[in-house]
Amino acid sequence: MKRISLVGLVAALGCAESNRGVVELAEICGAAEPVRLLALDETSMVTWDEGAVATHGSRWLIGSRARSDIPTDDLVGDAAAAAQRIVSVDECGGDPIEVAVGVDTTFLAPRPTAPSFACAGGIERMTWIDPDGVRPSVQVDAVGCSFGWVDDDVVFAVAVADDEEQLVRATFDATGAIVASEVLVKQLRHWGPRSGFVGPRPIVDDPEARVIALGDDEVLVEIDVRTLESHPLRSEVDGFGVWDGIVVYGSGGLRFVWHLDSDVEEEIEIIGSSYSSYAKFGGGVATLRDGAAWGRTLLVTLDGHERTSMSGAWHPLVAMDDGARIIEARSSQDQLGLYRWMPGDDVEQFSGPVVETWTDGDLWTVAYSYAEHERAQNLITYDVGSMERRVVLENAYRPWPWSDDRWLTVRPELGEVSGPLVLLDPADGSARVVDEDVHLEIAGFRGGSNPARGRAHDGTVLYFVEHGGRRGLWRARLGE
């Protein structure tokens, strides 16, 4: 077990010298005040990607990386290795153990008998880890960092030559070594689980144990990962995407939507063949992009196969009860915002430029105006059925829900990147301070683009203090 000495880490981490705010805090580590889980020097930041902070038993696994304004190419030796790392600490920030270097996001196994992994930024450098930090981490010879657990085995792509990849199922032992492997597809182009798709991040546990894959022979196949049985689905396939048993694929300039369970297939009529045959999904819609600079996006509903083509990059978010879709423009400033698209009709913008959106029964958006400073943002909610609009908070920077009627945000001075972490109450307009000098982008660890997922909690909030002797990751528990 490797014990480490961290810069600025003091013995009394559980008795932090915090500038206490006015929010009543519950007791943790023997005191009703914040506790520093991890101290960091001026060159490092806590990683804010999904998977940056995870709990393993009574311990915390914390990922950190070099500060964004420090070129990692200038780092050498130990400094380069420490540019990304995962450290395990106890619940009061003590007993630090280095779990891995070169990675900063953790993906714990769904079962104790399955292997755990870490990635760099969630998308690169697939690395086997021992969450207890007893055994050294082992980098896996994988393409990117997309993988899926099937029972206790793992499915992922490996590079066997400069221009050749293979899809494999591998068994890892307790030291991170691969003790058995089976090649599922040679000369792999693309793959995904039958029930989902492989994006830039690892996929979840796959109980169906069936994958769809495409090789250089242009034959689309379905593979039972447990039995290794494979059968062809379609030939002369250029590319595909799969979601919930629906395959969207291209063949000879044509595009098709194929429902595997019902075996219903329909050709998508498009003008020209410039749209990619690799589809992405959201809100019951498949999207295909062309390769132009700003490009165009083809949207196809997965139920009625209705379609529309629009200039720019678009992402569907949610399907409404009346069949309309909420889509988000992600291209030029002239389009940025949320739109309502009724298939067969035009799109209509209903929210201006947005910072982020999420759904939790209702549709929530954090929107801002170009006429105002970028941090002057409003939190707005819409009933997805009626699209009734309600402004919940004004001038709050990327707030996230703490409870049904309380919100957390950081309120820095103009031009600053840190300020007081406050608990907001829209009913009376109060803003009570939790702590000071908190980095506005690394508070709460929302974990991806849907902060509503974090509503079920035990009162614990994590945040990064930016400056001085308190710099590092802190944990507090709100008393309400």
Q: What is the pLDDT of residues 254-263, one digit of tens each?
A: 889 999 989 9
Cα 4 from Cα 95, distance rounded (Å):
9
Q: Which of 17, 15, 13, 18 is nearest to 435 (CA)?
A: 18
- Give the pLDDT band of residue 5 (cuts 50, 70, 90): very low
Indicate whether 284 pLDDT > 50: yes
pLDDT, tens digit, 9 for 90 and up, residues 359-383: 777 788 888 776 555 667 888 888 8
The residue among 23 and 358 whose pLDDT is bigger is 23
Chain centroid to CA 167: how far?
Answer: 23
Give whole-number Cα distances, 333 to 276, 299, 313, 352, 353, in Å: 24, 21, 12, 10, 8
**pTM (two decimals):** 0.85
Structural domains of the chain ordered from first start? 40-139 (no CATH), 140-208 (no CATH), 238-345 (2.40.128), 353-480 (2.120.10.30)
DSSP lists the bridge partners of residue 166 as 158
| Per-residue confidence (pLDDT) for residue 259, from 0 to 100 | 93
Cα 108 from Cα 56, distance rounded (Å):
8
- 309, 336 contact by CB (below 8 A): no
Query: Phi-psi region for residue 308, left (φ > 0), alpha (ψ -120 to 50) or beta?
Result: beta
Q: Enter the tokens of residue 7.
A: 């810069």
Q: What single letter denotes the amino acid at residue 367?
A: A
DSSP lists the bridge partners of residue 423 as 408, 432
What's the whole-number mean pLDDT along residues 293-316?
Answer: 85
- 8, 40 contact by CB (below 8 A): yes
What's the whole-number mean pLDDT along residues 466-472?
Answer: 89
Indicate whether 17 pLDDT > 50: no
Cα 376 from Cα 397, distance rounded (Å):
7
| Per-residue confidence (pLDDT) for residue 1, from 0 to 100 | 47
57 φ/ψ angles, rounded to the nearest 5 degrees: 65, -125
191-199 CB contacts, 8 Å cutoff, 24+ apart: 191/157, 191/167, 192/241, 192/242, 193/148, 193/242, 194/222, 194/242, 194/245, 194/260, 195/244, 195/245, 196/242, 196/243, 196/244, 197/241, 197/242, 197/243, 197/280, 197/281, 198/146, 198/148, 199/146, 199/280
The residue among 12 and 42 whose pLDDT is bigger is 42
Q: Enter the tokens of residue 97.
A: 């153990």
pLDDT, tens digit, 9 for 90 and up, residues 267-276: 987 765 578 8
> Which letter, b or e, does each residue of 294-303 get, where b requires 16 or more Cβ atoms within 10 Å of its Cβ?
ebbbbbbbbe
Max CA-CA distance within the chain?
Answer: 68
Cα 71 from Cα 66, distance rounded (Å):
8
What's the whole-number mean pLDDT along residues 125-138?
Answer: 95
| Per-residue confidence (pLDDT) for residue 363, from 0 to 100 | 84
Q: How many CA atoms lie within 13 A of 205 on its CB side?
A: 11
| Per-residue confidence (pLDDT) for residue 197, from 0 to 100 | 64
Cα 226 from Cα 237, distance rounded (Å):
25
| Per-residue confidence (pLDDT) for residue 79, from 0 to 100 | 55
DSSP lists the bridge partners of residue 139 as 127
What's the whole-number mean pLDDT along residues 193-197?
Answer: 79
The residue among 459 and 157 whose pLDDT is bigger is 157
Indicate whether 413 pLDDT > 80: no
What's the whole-number mean pLDDT along residues 47-69?
Answer: 85
303-308 CB contacts, 8 Å cutoff, 24+ apart: 304/343, 305/257, 305/266, 305/268, 306/343, 306/344, 307/268, 307/269, 307/270, 307/343, 308/341, 308/343, 308/347
What percentage of residues in the chain have a pLDDT greater than 90?
39
- Give the pLDDT band of residue 8 (cuts 50, 70, 90): very low
